[in-house]
Amino acid sequence: MVNVTKLAAPLDVGGVSIRNRVFLAPMSGITDQPFRQRAHAHGAGLVVSEMVASGELAKGRAGFDLRIRHSGLPVHMVQLAGREAIHMAEGARIAAGEGADIIDINMGCPAKKVTGGYAGSALMLDLDHALSLIEAVVGAVKVPVTVKMRLGWDEGALNAPTLARRAEQAGVSMVTVHGRTRCQFYQGKADWRAIARVKEAVSIPVVANGDVCSPAEAAAILDQSGADAVMVGRAHYGAPWIAGGIAAAAAGEMAVGVPQDPTALADYVVAHYEDMLALYGVESGLRQARKHLGWYLDRHAVADDSRKAILTAFEPVRVVALLRDVFSRDPQPLNLRSAA
């Protein structure tokens, strides 16, 4: 078994120093500025923006600037998605101009609305085209460029090692591999051993991703993949502290800032909610916040009627009052550990 203390060590990514090796994955509609700030405060080594469509960013579509806005953290990493080299290059220039320290290229998203536009993991169907996008981004910016991918499109095309090797040759500084194919979406178990073939193919850092929820699973994925770091995604639903907790455990320390009782959790959730309203405005913020509130409430096993009342309320003052009330009277224990 690999020594999990490795995760507490810094990692160099193209000259940018990352404080530890447990990262928050980019998640569309989730890892916005308030979420990233919380994950970083809890100790995550690197936090990545939600996926940004390069074409919309390049065209100046309203709202997309929020996704690349600098969050005031030591390392600002922006993930871009797209299929046109000209848009990817321009999006990268815009993001770097806004202070991005690292640009990540999305070649792993399995969502139909993304792959249907020949972006995300669909790029693994045509490695020559994928490389043209990588070369365009690397040539457009002076900051390090990374790539996030899957094992391949399906079991018949497990070409992640080839893509990673060619990406390194094109100047990419790190690759992240989710241990499933696109056709698996999130079904079954991530194949951590398959990530080892990517690690063997390159000399740049490899980050292993998929089904990591705890220090034990982080140790197992390192052992089976030989990766240099781990990235945690869905385990953060309603628990922005998961990556930081794994990093703390690797260092033999206590997790930072995890709410330990219902009152503390109420304060935490209310602060997150209010930060989202401040960023998006009340109308949009209410919509954006509901999924987060739902995940927090699910972890606290809140009764269905109370949950419904909170998630259907439209007045922020009412939402805050309901949150504080339900956490103060609900006797169910907190569930502070994530499930995959």
Binding region for FMN:
79, 148, 178, 233-234
23 forms bridges with which residues in the sheet? 46, 231
Question: Does the active-site annotation cover 109?
Answer: yes
Nearest CA-CA partner of 297 in 325, 256, 317: 325
**Which residue in the list 30, 51, 94, 109 is annotated as catalytic?**
109
Sign of CA dihedral 51, 57, 61, 64: positive
**Beta-strand relationship, 16-18 and 11-13:** antiparallel
Residues of each annotated binding site: 79, 148, 178, 233-234
Active site residues: 109
